Every structure is written in structure tokens, then in C-alpha cells.
Amino acid sequence: EAQVTQNPRYLITVTGKKLTVTCSQNMNHEYMSWYRQDPGLGLRQIYYSMNVEVTDKGDVPEGYKVSRKEKRNFPLILESPSPNQTSLYFCASSLGLASDTQYFGPGTRLTVL
């Protein structure tokens, strides 16, 4: 089944404790992206990647890191999480700019205490 998977789905952590949210897609997509969703603000793009080893900042990259060492995986790293990073996070992928349909993962709900 073609899908985007995220792990973990739920995470409660404390300020300053490094964490990684994994994202994997099995559709051989070139483009991958991370968003955060907050009430009243819609989805805001954190980082995106057009291909392996190519990453770019979205609208809200501060406090996050990403890497794209292989095509299928695009982990989101919070080196020192803070309470304002409490949010619902979505990973998405698309074949590439030639086919713009983005497929979203199920989401990761993160709480930083």
C-alpha cells in the first residue's frame, strides 16, 4: 500500500530533550516536506526537500533540523525542544513538481512540557 508513515504518533517530552520524528514514504517520491498545524494558523511549512541531499527552509524553520540522506526518509529533528513547539506535525511527499499531489502522513502529536 502506498503511504507515508510517521513515528511516533504521539510524544510527550520535556524542554531541552532532543527528539527525532521519523517520516518514510514507499512511493519513490522526490519531494518531501514537514508541516506543523496549530489552531487558527492552518498548516505552516517547516522544511522541504526536492531530492536527496537537497533541503530548504519553509516558513517556520527555527528550532528544527532535517536531513535527506536517502530518498524514502525525511526525519525531523528537534535539538532542544521548547513548549512553543507543542503542535501537530505532518510529513508529506509528492512525486515531484511535475505531479503536485502531496500525500500526507497521519500526523505526530507532540507535547513539550
Partner 1 sequence: GENVEQHPSTLSVQEGDSAVIKCTYSDSASNYFPWYKQELGKGPQLIIDIRSNVGEKKDQRIAVTLNKTAKHFSLHITETQPEDSAVYFCAARGGGTSYGKLTFGQGTILTVHP
**In angstroms, what is the minimal distance from the CB of 110 to partner 1?**
15
Binding mask 45-64 for partner 1 (x = CB under 8 A): x--x-x-----x-xx-----
Considering the rule CB under 8 A, would residue 74 count as an interface residue with partner 1? no
Contacts of 106 (CB under 8 A, 6+ apart): 5, 6, 9
Which residue pairs from 42-50 have beta carbons closer than 8 angstroms and sit at least 24 positions apart in sequence?
43/90, 46/76, 46/89, 47/76, 49/74, 50/96, 50/97
Binding mask 4-43 for partner 1 (x = CB under 8 A): x--------------------------x-x-x----xxxx
Coil, strand, or helix at residue 68?
A: coil
Residue 84 has which C-alpha cell? 512553543
Binding footprint of partner 1 on the chain (CB under 8 A): 4, 31, 33, 35, 40-45, 48, 50, 56, 58-59, 90, 92, 97, 100-102, 104-107
